[in-house]
Amino acid sequence: MHPAAIVVGFFKQLRELLFPIILFVFFGSTGDGWFGVVYIGVMLLWFAGLIVVGILSWYRFYYWIEDGELRMEYGVFVRKRRFIPQERIQTLDTSEGIIQRIFGLVKVQVETAGGGAEAEASLTAVTKDEAMRLREALLYKKPEVQNDIDDLDESLETTEREPEEEPPKPVFTVSWKSLFIVGTTSGGIGVVLSAVIAFTSQFDQIVPYEDIIDRFGMVLQTSVFLIASIIFLVLFLSWLISIVMTMFKYGNFTVVKNKDELQISRGIIEKRQLTISLERIQAIRITQNLLRQPFGFATVYVESAGSSGGKEADFSTILFPLVKMSEVEAHLKEFVPAYELSQNIQPLPKRSLIRYLIRLGVPAILLSAPFAYFFQPYGYFAFLSVGIAMLLGYSQFKTAGWSLGPNGNENGEQLQLSYRHLSKNIVLVRKKRIQSFELRESFFQGKRKLYTVKASIKTGLGGKNFQVVDVDNEGGDQIYEWYSYEKKQGSVV
309 and 444 fall within a common domain? yes
Q: Is the dihedral of CA 26, 28, 31, 35 positive or negative?
A: negative
Q: Write phi, then psi, for 189 (nearest 5 degrees).
A: -65, -35
Number of domains into which the chain is organized: 3
Note down the domain range covering 327.
254-348+400-484
Q: Which of 234, 250, 266 is the last residue of a domain?
A: 250
Inform me whether the pLDDT recorded for 470 exceeds 90. yes
Give the 3-state secondary structure of residue 173.
strand
- Give 223's pLDDT tier (boundaries 50, 70, 90): low
Domain boundary among 360, 381, 398: 398
Q: How far apart are CA 57 and CA 136, in angstroms?
A: 27
Q: Report long-range pairs for 120-125 (Cβ below 8 Å, ≥24 apart).
A: 120/84, 120/89, 121/63, 121/70, 121/72, 121/82, 121/84, 123/1, 123/63, 124/1, 124/5, 124/8, 124/9, 124/12, 125/1, 125/2, 125/3, 125/4, 125/5, 125/8, 125/99, 125/100
DSSP letter for 140, please. I
Is 11 contained in some domain? no
Q: What is the pLDDT of residues 113-159, one digit of tens each?
A: 655 556 788 899 999 999 989 888 887 765 444 444 444 444 444 44
Pair (310, 406) in one structural domain: yes
Same domain, 458 and 362: no
Q: Say whether both 383 and 422 belong to one domain.
A: no
In a domain, 49, yes or no: no
HSE-up of 480 (CA within 13 Å, CB side)? 14
Q: Across residues 260-278, what is the average pLDDT?
A: 87
* Structural domain contains residue 99: no
* 76 part of a folded domain: no
pLDDT at 220 (0 to 100): 52
CA 64: distance to chain centroid?
31
Helix, coil or strand: residue 359: helix
**Averaged confidence pLDDT in the chain:** 80
Looking at 250, 285, 311, which one is the last position of a domain? Answer: 250
In this prediction, residue 229 carries a pLDDT of 77
Residues 394 and 406 in one domain: no
Does residue 447 surpass a pLDDT of 80?
yes
- Give the C-alpha distances (Å, rounded to integers) separating 83 from 89, 127, 146, 323, 446: 11, 22, 24, 41, 52
Q: Are 197 and 292 within one domain?
A: no
| 149 domain residue, yes or no | no
Find the angle CA(77)-CA(79)-CA(83) to the nearest 5 degrees: 155
High-pLDDT (> 70) share of the chain, %? 75
Residues 327 and 291 in one domain: yes
Q: Contact 329/340 with Cβ under 8 angstroms? A: yes
Q: Is residue 1 part of a domain?
A: no
Residue 73's pLDDT is 92
The confidence score (pLDDT) of residue 449 equals 94
Highest mean pLDDT among 128-142, 225-239, 336-350: 336-350
| pLDDT score for 221 | 54
User: Could you write out the DSSP letters of every residue in 224-278?
Assistant: HHHHHHHHHHHHHHHHHHHHHHHHHHHTT-EEEEETTEEEEEE-SSSEEEEEEEG
For residues 382 and 410, membership in a common domain is answered with no
258 & 369 share domain: no
On whether both 318 and 440 belong to a single domain, the answer is yes
Residues 186 and 307 in one domain: no
What sign for the dihedral angle of Cα 197, 201, 203, 207?
positive
Between the ranges 188-202, 413-427, 449-463, where is the mean pLDDT highest?
Answer: 413-427
Q: Return d(Cα 94, Cα 106) in angstroms, integer.
A: 6
pLDDT higher than threshold 70 for residue 265: yes
Let me know the angle formed at the C-alpha of 477 by 476 and 478, rounded to the nearest 5 degrees. 90
For residue 330, being part of any structural domain is answered with yes
Nearest Cα neighbor of 58 from 106, 128, 135, 123 is: 123
Residues 281-311 have pLDDT tens digits of: 999 999 999 989 999 999 999 988 755 445 5
pTM as predicted: 0.75
Pair 222, 274 in one domain: no
Domain annotation covers residue 86: no
Cα–Cα dist 450/429, whole Å: 23
